[in-house]
Structure 1
Amino acid sequence: MADINRVRLRGQLIENYDGLVRKLTRRLGSSDFAYEALHETFVRLDRVTDSVTVRSPADYIFRTAINIAKDRQKAQNHRVSVAEIDALLDISDEGPDPARVAEARSEIEGFKRALAALPARPREVLHSVAVEGVPAQAVAERLQVSLRTVENDLKMALQHCADCLDHPLKRRLGGPRLRS
């Protein structure tokens, strides 16, 4: 007979089914896990050939069912739910896309060129007031010019940069507040 192991193992499983369910339920903590493991075990017994030596069919079936149950528990612990996948897909990337990065780099380069084209004093005024946040009066004192000159240099520098970048210069309500 060519399928001796398969016939022996299936017969053992059918004969001792109720006892195996009780034993597996105690070991696994759930009769549902026990039934599922035995069902899968029955299916897997079709793959057992006579080349495998089975000394104790009952132990072989029990060990196979335990291994199946452990594998299922591991798989269950590593599964991601549909809700978790949906939540991950809804996460937006708040970083700029490559096109915006390239556009920003181009703007920065354009701004650097516009600054380089400015005369020294208006460039210094723009940097001091707009970048460093130095009050216009302090810039006027440092450069030994009038406050009006600092205001005019700042306006000229801002207008020049806006023109070079092809951006309209937006004026805040009430005009610029340069005095401090």
Structure 2
Amino acid sequence: MSDTSRAQALRKLLVSRYAYLAKRLERVTGSKDGAADALHETWLRLESANIATPVANGDAYLLGMANNVVIDQHRRERRHEHDEDAELLLDVPDELADPERIVAARRKVESLKDIMRGLTPRRRAILIAARVEGLLNREIAEQFGISLRLVESELSAAMKYCLKRMQETGDPYAGSTAGPRKF
């Protein structure tokens, strides 16, 4: 039996056992329409299928093929839903791009730069190494040739000084001390 004749035999079996196969697929898809769509797609796939070996159980073969069709359809739908979600997110306005917020953030950075000029050069360098460059205290101690305890003390003093000065300038977010820090 040739590949095309095996496919034709399976198509004939699909037609003769359609009601049974649809009922079985209905359990998988959850709907009659979903089962009918899967069987229709299976019919179309059988038209171009190369079935090299004899099929022992035609019903099982057709149901397996239809199950694969259902899985493929489900994946396509999920991918499409994710694309729609991405498009919706692209339409959401960026609140951080508000011109007033940008100007306020730039002012805050300039204010912090001015405050940091009041630190001793070593404290300023340690603060920048810790909070801007994200270096570990151990790395800072090695870089400056000082003890780990002294790094911790200088960093603490620098943070307290900057926080106090920012609060004096009326910064409502002066309590935030977060930064790119690896502890």
Using the size of structure 1 for normalisation, the TM-score is 0.49
Decide which structure has the larger Cα Rg and report it: 1
- Length-normalised TM-score, structure 2: 0.48
